[in-house]
Each structure stands twice: as C-alpha cells, then as structure tokens.
Amino acid sequence: MKRVVTVFFVIASCFYSYGQNSEVSNMLKEIEGQWSLDDNNNVTYQRIVEVPDVNKDELFSRAQNYFIYNYGSGKSVIQTQDKEKGQIIGKGIYDRLHTFSNGTGWVYLGTWHIIRVDVKDGRARIIITLTEYQEDFKGMLTNSNVSKEFPINDEGGRKNIMGKAFYKSHNKAIESLDLIEKAIKEGTTSKQIEDDKW
C-alpha cells in the first residue's frame, strides 16, 4: 500500500510540475497580447510617453532619478548612460517573484530584465526586456533564458511553475513601466515636492 501511495504521489507531482493547470491557463489568457518578442526572442514591452514642454535634459534627469530611487544605487543598475544621445540602459532583477517547493526545499525565482529609456524634447520611450530567470535553491543560483521556458517555448517543462513566474514577471514589468512613466511625467517623489520653492 505504501508503494502505491508513493507512486501516485510521484505521478501527481510530475503532472503538477510539467502539465499546465486551468489556473495558469487563465492567468496567461489574462495577459495575452500585452507583450511582444524582439528579434532575439526576448519578451519586450514598450511605451511612448508624451511630455510636452519638457526638454530633453530634464527628461534625462528624471529617468536617471527613477533608477536611483527604485534600485537603491543607480550605479549598480545603470549599465550605460549617454546624455547627448538621451539614452539610459539599466539591468536589474525582479527578485524572488515566485516561490515554489522542489520537494527537498524552497526555490526562489527572480527575473533579470533590461530597462532602456530614450529621451528627446517632449517625449520618452521606455523599453523593458525580460531576459533570464534566476532560481535560488539554498544559495545555488541557476539561470535560464525566458525565451526557452514556458509559455514562450511551448516545449518548456514545469508549465505551472514557469507559467506563474511569467505572469508575475509580466505584472512587475507593467508596474515598472507605470513607475518610469510617472517619474518622467512628474518626477520621482511628487510634483508638489519637486516644484516647491525652497
């Protein structure tokens, strides 16, 4: 009897790990069409922000401040910045977005992403690209390309785990787009504080 229960548990856990359940299917339907793939098959989001009457230098400064306020240290995230071109590129991780058990312990999954902000007088373009998942199991880190995992790759395994990770990564990317847009339009703290005469 013990053996039958063990076999059943193993089969059920394999199905749970590798099959896609209806919860994940509904999550993915909810965000369908809200992201695209770039030429390297990476998941990419783009938003154009119109800011009439604000010059390029001010928009560049606001974009820089976004990284500093939201990543603790802008230097550790910003990979390149060119004020003349009006371009800032940063790389960061949405840390521990999804947690799951692999049967022997907890795994913390995060998503590496690249944020690119291009500015010119009166407008900015924000591009966020999800590049790699990072799994942390007892301090051992492993990375895998987002494009090689489910749902971008239908052949990818662990459909429930990776489907949920993708859904949470997507939501975090949208949240980042909203925060960057707000920083570009209004500043990083608040319009009232930043405009206040002191």
Mean pLDDT, the chain, rounded, equals 87
pLDDT, position 6: 43
Q: Measuring CA to CA, which residue among 120, 122, 93 is closest to residue 108?
A: 93
| pLDDT, tens digit (0-9, with 9 covering 90-100), for 94-128 | 999 999 999 899 999 999 999 999 999 999 999 99
Check residue 34 and report its DSSP letter: S
Please give the backbone phi and psi of residue 96, each rounded to the nearest 5 degrees, phi first.
50, 50
Report the percent of the chain where pLDDT is more than 70: 82
> Averaging pLDDT over each range in 14-18, 60-64, 65-69, which range is the top one?
60-64
Question: Mean of the pLDDT values across residues 124-145?
Answer: 96
The residue that leads in pLDDT, 41 or 7, is 41
Class of residue 139 by CB neighbours under 10 A (exposed 0-12, middle 13-18, buried 19+): exposed
pLDDT, position 42: 94
pLDDT, position 188: 77
Instruction: Categorize the per-residue pLDDT at 9 as very low, low, confident or very high, splitting at 50, 70 and 90.
Output: very low
Name the pTM for this structure.
0.84
